[in-house]
Amino acid sequence: MLRKHRPRELTILDRVYEHISLPPLVVAAIDTPAFQRLRSLHQLGASSFLYPGAVHTRFEHSIGVAHMARTLLLNIQHHQPDLGLSEVDIELGMLAGLLHDVGHGPFSHLFEDVVSRRCGIEFNHEDMSEKIARRVLGDLVPQTHVDVVVGLMRGKALLGITYGEIISNKRNGIDVDRLDYFIRDSMCCFGKPTVDVRINRLFNSARIVCEEGQWQLAFEQKLALSLREIFTLRAKLHKNVYQHQVTKAIGHMIGDVIHAAAPRMPFDPHIYRVAYSSSLDITMRAPMAAVDWAAAILEHAHPSFPLNADDFIAEVVVINQGKGTADPLESVLFFNPKKPSQPLTRLKPAEDLKHGSPLFTPLQFEERTLMVFERRPTNGAVQRACERLNADPKYAAFFTESLPFYNTK
């Protein structure tokens, strides 16, 4: 038997999917303290200072991912009975979706960045999620099933598992984790999804196929434009929410607080207490990124307006559609249901236009922005240094435009 404990089946009301049914095994995992702490972890961290409605939690997101995993696997089970997906497979997929974020610390990615980069403590939420998931599942399922769930969380399926990319798809980013937070985050920030993504239509047109010995998701060719909208939504959320200048500025302030409080934080060697804690008790890459921009700004400080390295923060913000400078749509497999004997295809640029529209195909897929934040008033010294840097021919190739400084008075 898969289950060692049988709590009740549970139906909950969710803002995105309305009614979600959860089998007893998944409910048992939800009822653990490790998962319950996600109730107090905001999904978007500092973004709630920019969008007051963005106060949803990793608790509801994780349940949404579990629900999406079940919906997708049920569709695959219906359309591809030859794959032999069982109830056990579906529950393991749900558990992977449920626990994929359980290792996040307070303030989510912001905490991870500050602790690792500024405090010198090795911390990775994926590694922590695996450790916690193994502890949670050890009392619920056999060890072989624990290994399957962890593999799904990592996007590294064990041998014989055909649905290894549904939770974490490193090939092109189309997975149930991203789909849930794209939709949920846009609803909480903007009031409604900002693109027309019909998940049921997408899942009904999805199949699991084997190409060159690797199992992966494929979609009907008619879904090319819908997938393009999903990739575009990713870039929009990064631009307007996750990496917005206000989010970044607040994040740096919180980062300074975490860094200052780090000596009094209750870290243990494995950071389990931090991972299980709901909040912090603070009273106790590419050529552009390769440039040391803080040093470059200091170098261009006006003699009459001296600067110190602690006066400001310089950060390169990278926004793309999930595959760097490449078009992620070219990493998606497509099939034609009317011609089942036709081989699987990947869209090339010309075919992309054929199945979509030049109006919806970007000329470039990545942008890099140098953001500069003052830690304290500098009487215009930072602004003048940035203006001198921007006018320096040595750095002219790095910038296409310069936005005005915000008035902080």
61 assigned to active site: no
CA 168 to chain centre: 10
Catalytic residue among 56, 100, 104, 125: 125
Q: At what angle do helices 125-137 and 87-99 cross, to 10 degrees?
A: 130
* CA atoms of 245 and 235, how far apart (whole Å): 15
Cα distances (angstroms) measured from residue 192 to each of 15, 16, 53, 186, 262:
11, 10, 11, 6, 38
Catalytic residues: 125
